[in-house]
Structure 1
């Protein structure tokens, strides 16, 4: 199986560092992964957090695309419930006009932050409305200029008018998102790194029920997982130690940024915390290059997909680049 390797970067902030450094590192990482042959590079949307810097994927996408040449760049994803579909469509049509055939519009249902941030993002609107699917449909209509005559905004066009379109991807970890992606004929990116469980039934349902549309003529799936790779077991264990503590602190609401290796190695876990750590390990693929390749290939066969998206929360940029390089080299062998 010829597997495409892609990446999702959440612009993690190291304890004691700055968001400026984290965003700069994201751009450098994208440039390095392009050299390594990665297919896509996505950035995330998170609000009011001390550990992740990427709150505006559209802005970051523009900067990354300007400083790379061919790698596809996109959102993983835009949290559409927070926004007007019309404005999101125009944002991504501008990006597509600037960087034709390189822009991905990944859409998510999650709020991207705590309730206070969600309330602020939806200021003046009900935060209880459940209109995500209708917003996705409207967004497709604006992107492809197919607003029906009986629509509230019939005749409205999202500008600029261009001859190419951003690829639309539905992000999710449930059957609902799979059903939405299949129904509109979009790509489906399954977030294995969120659930830790296998979503084979959701991915298969998506593929079996996919409806050809103006968005795409055939189904496409991407499996997203945390992946840590090192040359030696010691390197792997060090990176995993940082990841374990990072995810634990986020879940406990105590994160002040991604912890240093020294803090991660010195941390003493309670029995209850170790249960969380063990559960989170199910969200990761870890090991030396041959072991990581084997796990990715196996997971790709299980999901019957040829694209795998890697997430790494390491804030040591050189170690992070090395991890991605080792994986890319393993797949060239």
Structure 2
């Protein structure tokens, strides 16, 4: 049955390709340092579930050490800007087909295989259907891109490395920060946060509690760069004990709008590398914070809406 282990192996293919490309680059001054970094990342994704916790921890520390020393990858021999511009003119809007295939396959798999069964056979763990569909969508998108553009041999791994090198070590931030959120939850940081908030603010009405919860989700996400890392801290510290148990808030609304508030913080921080750094590198923008500047007004308005919606709709019959 397809579960997280198989999905991790699929995710490891990209950093493994980058590591191999670096190792084979005889002209790279730091090829072994770069190869080691991406190989360690691939190992944590693909073999992490079977490795002891100590080994996984050592791999993470090794990645931190290598990134601190400086990766500074060399230039990649690939298609030049003129060739890419000519290809864009040739294929036009058809270049969007692979990009559209990814969400369509993911959505179709999630809705069409809710229990992970295909022809009555349980092939996918029900909790991992969306992730498995995402992997399938990525494979379909890659296949369509190759079929459409028919690139010369070696172009695909070279372009993979070029993009990964352009992003650099921030590519590992989502996984590291999500893991940090789990560590904080196990360490009881949520209770510490709750005790600190209750010592300063009288969280005795839905409006005040909602303000503290949603603003806390956004701020923790801005600091940590990942709403999934902030969610267990704020939900276990404020959401569950105060909004749900004490004030009688609807659990589904509290969880959903709290997570959406965290996503507002995602739009405002460079720590969210996959949202705000990757597009800058992919589009080769000069302003590192160009994406954040465009997203900021939407994030602030959406955060205000989340606070209002949660305070007004999640506490039926409770004075505001």
Q: Shorter chain as normaliser: what TM range?
A: under 0.3
Which of these two proteins has the greater Rg computed from alpha carbons?
2
In terms of fraction of residues, the more helix-rich structure is 2
In terms of fraction of residues, the more strand-rich structure is 1
TM-score of the superposed pair, with normalisation by structure 1:
0.22
Which structure has more relative contact order (CA 8 Å, sep 6+)? It is 1
TM-score of the superposed pair, with normalisation by structure 2:
0.23
